[in-house]
Amino acid sequence: MSLRNSFAVSGLEAFITVVLAFVLAYGLHYTKLPEKFKSVVQILIILPMFLPTLTYGFAVIYSLGKQGLITQIIGHQLFSIYGFWGLLISYVIYTLPPAFVLLYNAFKYVDKHFIIVSQIMGDSPLRTFYITSVRPMIGTIAAAFILSFFLSFTDFGIPASIGGQYTVVATQLYMVMMGAVPDFQSGSAIAVIMLIPSIVAVWLLRFTERFNFRYNKISTFELADDKVRDGFFAAVYVVVIAAIFAIFAIMFIVPFIKSWPYQVVFTTETLQRILSDRSIETVYTNSVMVAAATAVIGTVLAYMAALVNARSQLPGVCKMLMDACAMVTNTVPGMVLGVAFLFAFTGSPIQNTFIIIILLNSVREFTTPYLMIQASLSKINMSWETTGALMGDSWLKTIFRVIIPNTMSTVFQMLSYIFIQAMVTISAIIFVTGARTMVMTTKITQAQYFEKYDEVFVLSLLIFLTNIIVKVIFDYLSSHDDIVLHVKQKFQSIFGKEAKRQNAGLEDLPERI
Amino acid sequence: MLELKHIVKKYDEKVILNDISLTVEDGEIISILGPSGGGKTTLLNVILGITPLSGGQLLYKGEDLSRVPMQKRGFNIVFQDYALFPNLTAYQNIVYGLRNKPGIATKEEVADLIRLLDLQDHVDKRISQLSGGQKQRVALARTLVMKPKILLLDEPLSALDGVIKESIKERIRTIAKQYHLTTIIVTHDPEEALTLSHRVLILNGGKIAQFDTPDNIIHAPKDDFIKKFILSQLQIKRDNIYKLFEPGAMPAARQAQ
Amino acid sequence: MLELKHIVKKYDEKVILNDISLTVEDGEIISILGPSGGGKTTLLNVILGITPLSGGQLLYKGEDLSRVPMQKRGFNIVFQDYALFPNLTAYQNIVYGLRNKPGIATKEEVADLIRLLDLQDHVDKRISQLSGGQKQRVALARTLVMKPKILLLDEPLSALDGVIKESIKERIRTIAKQYHLTTIIVTHDPEEALTLSHRVLILNGGKIAQFDTPDNIIHAPKDDFIKKFILSQLQIKRDNIYKLFEPGAMPAARQAQ
Amino acid sequence: GCGSSGDSASADEQVVIYTNADPEAQDAFKHALDSNGFEGKYVMQAFGTSELGGKLMAEGTNIEADLITMSTYYIDSAQKENKMFADLTFDAKTLQETPSYYKPTTGQFGAIFVNTEVLQKENLPMPKSIKDLTNPVYKDKISLPDIMGSSTSWLLAQAVFDAYGEQEGAAILKQLEANAGPHMEKSGSGPLKKVKAGEVAVGFGLRHQGLMEEQKGLPIKVVDPTEGNFFLTEGVAVINKADSKKKELAMKMAECIVKNSRQELLKFYPMALYEGETVDKTFEPAYPKQYKEALTVDLLKKHQQLIKG
Ligand SMILES: Nc1ncnc2c1ncn2[C@@H]1O[C@H](COP(=O)(O)OP(=O)(O)OP(=O)(O)O)[C@@H](O)[C@H]1O
Ligand SMILES: Nc1ncnc2c1ncn2[C@@H]1O[C@H](COP(=O)(O)OP(=O)(O)OP(=O)(O)O)[C@@H](O)[C@H]1O
Ligand SMILES: [Mg+2]
Ligand SMILES: [Mg+2]
């Protein structure tokens, strides 16, 4: 029953999310809206990603519930948020950003030239749309569907807070593993059942791979002016972003209100009280430290794996294994992974250290950065390693001198993605944090147990702000990776002989052999 | 008859095409020649209607097309990179347009065209299985099936082998004659431009450097640019080939032995 | 002296190179010519050592290199797509190998090379700011700095303009002479092959069709394939150009007016 | 006095305390420890009941903590499973008999609470008993914890089974579930959350939590059900670790908590656990009651069975 519910709500949710994400991503590539507008929209759509998933359920209750912000503004409740519809909406909000990011990036590799070919061949607008946008994206659409499906299929936070009578398999797992009587044995049985769809997912991905094709090159062209088209998309963006804002606005209001919704008086008391707690500082530092370390280690892991896959001569089996690994870590519920780590590392020296948290996070956030870097590694020149070898480099040396510098912009994207994810994930690490290794998200979970919602929101905002800053910095670095290069050269020319040789040339070389 | 009157095209205040006026007769083959960045592709795009004009007029058979959208102009293009749909077979690509305008070409006409372009053996192949020359011909067939009023070609030959190149040139000439098709070809190879077309338009920095018959361009180059850019290339080629066919006159060969 | 003895290369039982035997003298420029898929790039890869032999032997100065890994052979290549490192400037690309083998070239030698290739004004530019011809020369310089025993070039000229093409050809000849460098060039343009090199190797279907001086290939083609593939291309070109320079002899031009 | 002297210890020597207690109880523990010379000699880390339960089951004596406070039925089953707690070396006279490896810290009653504003707006009668809530007028207007997800729900089940017997009780509980509809909560604090947010009019949960909101001036009122206020206890236990010095220190702290924090705890958790304790009548529940059988995990499982079938 709960399994059927899970499939129904996750399936429908994934369908809606993919359609919506597709429309949003399409508009950013195929309209002539001002570039500034587009870049703002692009960030706003993924804003929910910067908040801990735990807050989504709250946000929905406090905005669309009986006493919610939206309900109060409109004057009556739009629909009952408990059960199917609440889940559906929260899941869509939850999975829209990652699905959007996936599709948005994939559109970059679609040759826009074909729009003209299609139009000039007399295609109807619908057929042009299909042949130039949908058809080339089928593989990615499937991937986005799977991603979205599993995110909601394995999430228990949202159904726990607004699932109502609509039981899903993830909450069952939650109740068995973490309920009144923890039962890890039955829990693992449910977890195994939950893994079955990932087999289907791997198959689906392999199947849609057949539809994939590569364009020889990616040409851009000047889009025709079309006020109707641009206006339509502008409206879509405004509506979607307004909806996201309306639902999350409450999070930015509650911390400044004495007691929502009974004493709506502005106060910074709550904020002061919560932030004056000395332990917050430690926990915040821990969080940033863990997220930063996870970002670095996760990036290195994903990079190495992708190198093996995209640029090594290892047998195909290794590469397939790598892909399967990437897929599976994405489909295992975080809670199961956390409990697995708990059992695996009990009694080992890394128990109750930051290392285990970082390791767990790195494994959990493997898939997306892996896919990101793999795409860009397989696009860059295949002759560089050979050239490097002919110039006397070892393979590793070429990797460091050439391959990595030329994928720097993707590396920055990976770093910021993993950092943000590590800041917001909860379900996996909750089991492996110890007394001295608490992070923000576990603190938030506690606040939730103790009914301190204002604290939940304040801490979430802190995470949110941190993520925004990180995102902005890394986006900037990513689009200006030559700046990094420039700074590096400056440093090298200021310090050391080694630098001088590399930069200024041959001053130090012996005159003759 | 296609008339361009004082055509101006700017991108963000940067003038790319500057006061281009010319007339192309029906059935004529025109080559556009010029250095990289000279505005060749832009001029093609303007005629096709991909990109709007910044100034001037475009007339076809006296009708002003300056504001008519691309789809309604009835011109067609073969892109330099062919832009064949990679998910369809060669044949599906060729008859792609017929789905939208079923009456435009009969089955026999398509078969004729396939035969004319020597594609019989390749129609069932996927695009990735075709050689460069074959792709080129499929792209040409796909466009010709649509019976365009004017055929535009962007660097159609630059990626091809010498032998294939000649055969495609021959085919373009045959088709232009057979269908009385006005054809405009962008290229950067003077030999190609001068041997293929009735008249050659040389663009430099967005302006017309010369628009004349090959004969006149070779024997009466209008300025130094034409002499240097066009003629010196040809002369080097001529010298190379003269030497090759002169027995024992190969300097490189002599040095080695 | 480079000797190939009964070289065989297969990919999954498909024979790509079939019993290739030949000898290249020191300082000689050799062109490899042939239709697409003929095995030209494969032969270059086999000599360079990127891909292992399926059979036969490769000897350099009498030493058997068949099992010696690429890095130890001391040969070097300029790829068709240059494979320059975009994160480095032109100059950093040129001296890239010196970090690993600091003694291999002196400062003056590098400066000489840069002058010879006319790159003085471009050494501080990023790769993306260079034109195709400049990239080509930077790639050449980067390889020459390593003082390879044999220089391999895969279609080094096919992407270039006529005028630049001639100047690069000239430079390759000068360098080969100056450094007494054995040079092997893959191309699909007979004109290029025949005017640039001392001897031309024509490959067809993985076999040697002819390996001879340009003179002999033109005046004593060994078989029909050579006649058709090589000579007809050249003759067409010759005819084209003869006609261009013969006043009033242009058939296309005549037809139109 | 269980005082100890000396300055704060280095991180390695600090005693690690894991607790599932509410912040108010944590504060009481801290106050007791700090004012008796243990300041800086321990770190206290709070967990959700489920997570701490999971850790106890999975890690056994490998757990980082030296000292825990936890729901006592959990302590029992962890001891059964892992034999992980040391016998306490001090004594304190409890009102009820306890095993040798823990002493109770708090007793927590179950109760009904209502959101008076919502009750009024929806024109609902004030409930007096749990059974009242089976009345169809409360359909979708009440929120209850789920017995599978939270031990708080057990207090509800105990009250019902005690008053109406197993058969009728199970039927009543099923009716209650149907009435709660979408507001069956996985966590014990869920119902109060719903009542606070105005999503429902009535909820069932821990009495002291409702009391606290009432005192804050929110439109919330605690109602003691006539079936009785049943209770669960939390207790303190020492992990049986190899490091005897730390175990000793942990033992001292356990003793200190038992002996010095009760005064403060009684303010939030008005239930006498030790001999000589008295409770302010105004905070005392109206119908305090104890279940006839010992509260073990097996009993909980049996009740789960009865309800879920
Ligand atoms: N969409 C655009 N926005 C701004 N500038 C453009 C755009 N398209 C082309 N240009 C500029 O217009 C000029 C002419 O470009 P065009 O592509 O017409 O040259 P071309 O003659 O076809 O060159 P090539 O032989 O290299 O193809 C170039 O300087 C180019 O940078
Ligand atoms: N890694 C490989 N695996 C299998 N077959 C290959 C591989 N590399 C090349 N071939 C095949 O070997 C044959 C010769 O290829 P090669 O690249 O040497 O041709 P080429 O003469 O350089 O052609 P072109 O002029 O098109 O570059 C082709 O049929 C090609 O499909
Ligand atoms: Mg162009
Ligand atoms: Mg090749």
Please name each of the domains of chain A with its CATH number: 2-501 (1.10.3720.10)
Q: Is B86 on the interface with C (CB under 8 A)?
A: no
Question: What subunits make at least 3 CB pairs under 8 angstroms with D?
Answer: A
* Closest-CA distance of chain C to residue A383, Å: 6
User: Same structural domain for residues B34 and B158?
Assistant: yes
User: Same structural domain for residues C34 and C159?
Assistant: yes
Report CB contact under 8 Å: A83, D182: yes
Ligand 2 atom closest to residue C11's alpha carbon, by position in its atom list: 4
Q: What is the pLDDT of residue A251?
A: 82
Domain boundary among C128, C148, C168: C148
Q: Which residues contact D276 (CB under 8 A, 6 or more apart)?
A: D93
Nearest to A219 among B48, B81, B100 (CB): B81
Condensed to tens digits (0 to 9), the pLDDT of residues C58-116 reads 999 999 999 998 888 889 999 877 888 988 899 999 999 888 888 888 889 899 889 88
Domain boundary among C96, C122, C148: C148
CA of C52 to the centre of ligand 2 (A): 14
Q: B196: closest CA among D67, A440, C225, C256?
A: C256
CA of C84 to the centre of ligand 4 (A): 18
Element (H, E) at A30: helix A2-30
Q: What is the pLDDT of residue A498?
A: 41
Condensed to tens digits (0 to 9), the pLDDT of residues D69-107 reads 999 988 988 898 889 999 999 988 998 888 999 999 999
User: Which one-letter DSSP state was computed for residue D125?
Assistant: P
Instruction: Decide: helix, strand or coil at residue A310.
Output: helix
* Residue D103 CA from chain centroid, whole number: 14
Confirm whether C75 is domain-assigned: no
Report CB contact under 8 Å: D47, A446: yes
Q: Which two tokens stand for residue D40?
A: 């800086």
Report CB contact under 8 Å: A259, D216: yes
* Closest-CA distance of chain C to residue B130, Å: 12
- The CATH number linked to B210 is 3.40.50.300
Question: What one-letter code names the amino acid at A482?
Answer: D
Q: Is D146 on the interface with A (CB under 8 A)?
A: yes
User: Which one-letter DSSP state was computed for residue C185?
Assistant: E
Condensed to tens digits (0 to 9), the pLDDT of residues B33-64 reads 887 778 888 899 899 988 889 999 999 999 99
Q: What is the pLDDT of residue C69?
A: 87
DSSP letters spanning chain B? -EEEEEEEEEETTEEEEEEEEEEE-TT-EEEEE--TTSSHHHHHHHHHTSS--SEEEEEETTEE-TTS-HHHH-EEEE-TT----TTSBHHHHHTGGGGTSGGGS-HHHHHHHHHHTT-GGGTTSBGGGS-HHHHHHHHHHHHHHT--SEEEEES-STTS-HHHHHHHHHHHHHHHHHTT-EEEEEES-HHHHHHH-SEEEEEETTEEEEEE-HHHHHHS--SHHHIIIIIHHHHHHHHHHHHHHSTT--HHHHHH-
User: Same structural domain for residues B192 and B236?
Assistant: yes
Q: What is the pLDDT of residue C162?
A: 67
Question: What subunits make at least 3 CB pairs under 8 angstroms with C?
Answer: A, B
φ, ψ (nearest 5 deg) of residue C81: -95, 15
Ligand 2, atom 12, lies closest to the CA of C16
Compute the mean pLDDT over every residue in chain B, rounded to the nearest whole number. Answer: 85
Confirm whether B9 is domain-assigned: no
- Does D touch B (3+ CB pairs < 8 Å)? no
Q: Is C238 on the interface with B (CB under 8 A)?
A: yes
CB atoms within 10 A of CB B115: 10
Nearest to A221 among B50, B71, B87 (CB): B50
Which has the higher per-residue pLDDT, D16 or A185? D16
Q: Is B67 on the interface with C (CB under 8 A)?
A: no
Lowest mean pLDDT among A478-492, B98-112, C36-50, C124-138: A478-492
Q: What is the pLDDT of residue A24?
A: 95
Report CB contact under 8 Å: C163, B237: no
Residues of chain A short of pLDDT 70, as ranges, are: 209, 212-222, 259-262, 451, 481-513
* Closest-CA distance of chain A to residue D77, Å: 10
Per CB-CB distance under 8 Å, the chain A contacts of C106 are 506, 509-513
Nearest to B188 among C161, C194, C232 (CB): C161
- Residues of chain B with pLDDT > 90, as a percent, come to 29
Condensed to tens digits (0 to 9), the pLDDT of residues D194-212 reads 898 888 999 999 999 898 8
- Region D249-253: mean pLDDT is 94
Confirm whether B130 is domain-assigned: yes
Which residues' Cβ are closer than 6 Å to ligand 2?
C 11, 16, 34, 36-42, 188
Q: Is B25 on the interface with C (CB under 8 A)?
A: yes
User: Same structural domain for residues C154 and C252?
Assistant: yes
User: Same structural domain for residues B157 and B129?
Assistant: no
How far apart, in whole angstroms, are the C-alpha atoms of residue D15 and residue D26?
Answer: 15
**Number of domains observed in the structure of chain B:** 2
Q: What is the pLDDT of residue B251?
A: 44
Per CB-CB distance under 8 Å, the chain A contacts of B79 are 113, 117
User: Same structural domain for residues C144 and C203?
Assistant: no
Lowest mean pLDDT among A354-358, B79-83, D162-166, D233-237: B79-83
Confirm whether B179 is domain-assigned: yes
User: Same structural domain for residues B234 and B109?
Assistant: no
Q: What is the pLDDT of residue A241?
A: 92
* Residue C109 CA from chain centroid, whole number: 23
Reported confidence tier of residue B160, pLDDT bands at 50, 70, 90 = low
Mutate to test the interface with B, among C31, C134, C170, C241 (most CBs of B within 10 A): C241
Mutate to test the interface with A, among C71, C126, C129 (most CBs of A within 10 A): C71
Per CB-CB distance under 8 Å, the chain D contacts of A449 are 48-49, 187, 189
User: Same structural domain for residues C143 and C164?
Assistant: no
Which residues' Cβ are closer than 6 Å to ligand 1?
A 222; B 11, 16, 34, 36-42, 188
- Chain B residue with CA closest to C131: the answer is B36
Report CB contact under 8 Å: A117, B83: yes
Question: What subunits make at least 3 CB pairs under 8 angstroms with A?
Answer: B, C, D
Lowest mean pLDDT among A324-328, B190-194, C145-149, D12-16: A324-328
What's this model's pTM, rounded to 2 decimal places? 0.80
User: Same structural domain for residues B129 and B248?
Assistant: no
Q: What is the pLDDT of residue D133?
A: 94
Supply the range of the domain harboring residue B240. Answer: 19-42+150-256
| Helices and strands (DSSP H and E) totals, chain D | 10, 9
User: Same structural domain for residues C155 and C189?
Assistant: yes
> CA torsion angle for D138, D141, D142, D147 (degrees, to 10)?
100
Q: What is the pLDDT of residue A469?
A: 93
* Residue D104 CA from chain centroid, whole number: 11
Question: What one-letter code names the amino acid at C88?
Answer: L
Confirm whether C62 is domain-assigned: no
Condensed to tens digits (0 to 9), the pLDDT of residues D257-285 reads 999 999 899 988 888 899 988 887 878 88
Q: What is the pLDDT of residue B249?
A: 47
User: Same structural domain for residues B237 and B110?
Assistant: no
User: Same structural domain for residues C188 and C209?
Assistant: yes
Nearest to A222 among B51, B96, B146 (CB): B51
Q: What is the pLDDT of residue A331?
A: 76
Lowest mean pLDDT among B115-129, C230-244, D111-125: C230-244
Confirm whether B90 is domain-assigned: yes
Domain boundary among B148, B168, B197: B148
Instruction: Decide: helix, strand or coil at residue C1.
Output: coil
Greatest mean pLDDT range, A94-98, B87-91, D234-238:
D234-238
Condensed to tens digits (0 to 9), the pLDDT of residues C170-205 reads 888 888 888 899 999 998 788 888 888 999 999 988
Confirm whether B91 is domain-assigned: yes
Confirm whether B53 is domain-assigned: no
User: Which one-letter DSSP state was computed for residue D102?
Assistant: -
Q: What is the pLDDT of residue C3?
A: 94
CA of C39 to the centre of ligand 2 (A): 6
Q: What is the pLDDT of residue D115?
A: 94
Which of B12, B16, B155 most suits a substitution to test ligand 1, by most atoms within 8 Å of the C-beta? B16
